[in-house]
Amino acid sequence: MTRKELEDLDKKIKANQICIAHNFDAAHCSGEPITSHSIARSEQLKRIAENDKVCVWNNSISKCFHLMDESGGTQKTLFEPWTIQKASTFEGFCNYHDTQLFNLIDKPIISFNDEVILQLHYRAMSYEYFHKKASIEFLEKILSSDGADKNLLYDMVETTKERDVIALNDLKKEISVCEKAFSTKNANKDVKAIVFSFDVMAPVMCTGGWVPSHTIDKKTVLFQEDMKSLAPLIGMTLGIDANNKSFWALTYTDGTNIHVKKFLESLKKHLNKRFLDIAVLFCLQKSQNACCRPSWYTGLQKWQKDFIDRGFNEMNENLYEPVVGMKLLNLVYTVKQIV
């Protein structure tokens, strides 16, 4: 398949999904999924936008596209400016559910109560669910295409699909916990969070989820993604509150899990080590849903851009990038844990 065929296939699959909330609230579905913002456009993205644009990873092209591209393309995913009408969007929910299920986080967040934490987690998990489900369908089409088994990277793509299936099953569990809470009038007792508040506004925002594992190399903490792990996913939201200050919310359902506990404990140890820089770099390296102010990204030194790009595009996951000690923000700030 050529790169153009791969791009068209990706668009077709993503356009043929159903509302994620249909499984637990089909009676209220108002039609086909709309282009939902996983980061609120009017209350969030506009605060870091310039000329109505933010820089994003071009996630219309999967990281594996260039590997299966028979036309010889080797282009990697890059940061590029998108309008805030398009940035952070996915076809995940119908208009009714997009409006009702996220009504507390699509406006300035004043306090992080149980309902806000529930909505943050559900949105983060739903965004990942949508992309993992679409990715599996996409990879299955690639693997079943004529001559695919003769491609030298066939086994790697098949392994990627198998890992996505594991991740999707974990995501289904996370989403089911949220849906149960929504079905009982937002009686959220199962989604937990730790939330860090800053006294400045960072030029980066992000919503997503991932499976954590934890490694310490001397005094450097390394964060890595391990899709073979059975650990629950952690929801990750780097946003802006009602006071125009950044917050970093990490949401989860199983605080007793060893992977989750170690990850959260490791974060707390670095509160006084340019913690917002850690959050920003982590989001930029690990999430395809990171958005940033264009002039800030343009102003970064080349080695900083290369560091971010390498962390996002690296196919060999045995190579882990350190995120502690990297200085990206030219800001003086304080941080405190508020939840």
Q: Using one digit for the tens of pLDDT, what is the confidence trace for 112-140?
A: 999 999 999 999 999 999 988 998 998 89
Structure tokens of 4?
């153009």
The lowest-confidence range among 13-22, 72-81, 188-197, 215-224 is: 215-224
Dihedral (Cα; 124, 77, 136, 211), 10-degree rounding: -40
How far is residue 307's CA from residue 295's CA, in Å, rounded to a whole number? 18
**Higher pLDDT among residues 157 and 66, named by residue:** 157
Total Cβ atoms within 10 A of residue 313: 14
Nearest Cα to Cα of residue 247 among 39, 35, 84, 55: 39
Provide the pLDDT for residue 322. 65
Q: What is the pLDDT of residues 163-211, one digit of tens each?
A: 888 888 888 999 999 999 998 865 778 999 999 999 999 999 999 887 6
Q: Would you say residue 97 has pLDDT above 90?
A: yes
Using one digit for the tens of pLDDT, what is the confidence trace for 150-161?
Answer: 777 788 788 888
Least confident of 129-133, 219-223, 258-262: 219-223
Longest dimension (CA), the chain: 56
CA 89 to chain CA centroid, Å, is 12
Q: How many CB atoms lie within 10 A of CB 305?
A: 15
